[in-house]
Amino acid sequence: IKHPLQNTWTLWYYEPDRTKTWEESQREITSFDTAEDFWSLYNHIKTASELRQGCDYSMFKQGIRPMWEDDQNKCGGRWLINLDKKQRTTDLDNFWLEILLCMIGEAFNEYSDDVCGAVVNVRPKGDKLGVWTSNADCADSVMEIGRKLKERLRITSKTTMGYQVHKDTMVKAGSQTKNTYTL
Ligand SMILES: CN(C)c1nc(=O)c2c([nH]1)N([C@@H]1O[C@H](COP(=O)(O)OP(=O)(O)O)[C@@H](O)[C@H]1O)CN2C
């Protein structure tokens, strides 16, 4: 039999489309709840670095949409990892896969329930990886998730990680959002 995951996860794909709203451009690809089905999906689709710039992948627990407004996201925030341009060939795909494996493997111990999902943004100005958590006010949960991420991604001090509350990001879209926590 296949190895069941603790949660069911849904993969979303975002491609900019001038004829649609941002929300209409978020497309639900498929959901899975076994390790084997994760690998079949992962091996079947393009890696993040193969996507056109402007596109995103998002992987969220089933029932949570990859947007600030979702009930599970609205009081939360994200650990954001900003990559420099050359990291697209060296780190982007490894970091994204490691984040996916942390999530489906419930690697955040007692705080895994606070993890909503993760987003990878492929951008000309530098790619971004975000891990979204459900409650920005739970400092213990946010910090523990951040520490585990840094450990699993083997992120050194040269790559900064900041936690941004979605309520701040929403209003400051386009300009620099403040980090509520940093690691
Ligand atoms: C429900 N709803 C509309 C809505 N709900 C959302 O949850 C949500 C958006 N809109 N987003 C829109 O994309 C722009 C780029 O953000 P970006 O993170 O791609 O970053 P870049 O500026 O393209 O690097 C954001 O400025 C925002 O317009 C982003 N976003 C997460």
Q: Is 123 in the pocket of ligand 1 (CB under 6 A)?
A: yes
The minimum-distance atom of ligand 1 relative to the CA of 21 is 3
| 23 close to ligand 1 (CB < 6 Angstrom) | yes
Quick one: pLDDT at residue 173?
63
* Smallest CA separation from ligand 1 atom 13, residue: 22
Atom 23 of ligand 1 has which residue's CA nearest to it? Answer: 54
pLDDT band at 174 (very low <50, low <70, confident <90, very high): low
Helix, coil or strand: residue 71: coil
The pairing of beta strand 181-182 with beta strand 161-165: antiparallel
Segment 63-91 mean pLDDT: 97
Mean pLDDT of the chain: 96
Q: What is the pLDDT of residues 128-169, one digit of tens each?
A: 999 999 999 999 999 999 999 999 999 987 777 999 999 999
Instruction: State if residue 174 touches ligand 1 by the CB under 6 angstroms criterion.
Output: yes
Distance, in Å, from the CA atom of 29 to the CA atom of 55, rounded to the nearest integer, reads 14
Residue 73's nearest CA partner among 154, 153, 130, 152 is: 130
Structure-token pair, residue 96? 């994204």
Q: Could you tell me the pLDDT band of residue 176, with boundaries at 50, 70 and 90?
A: confident
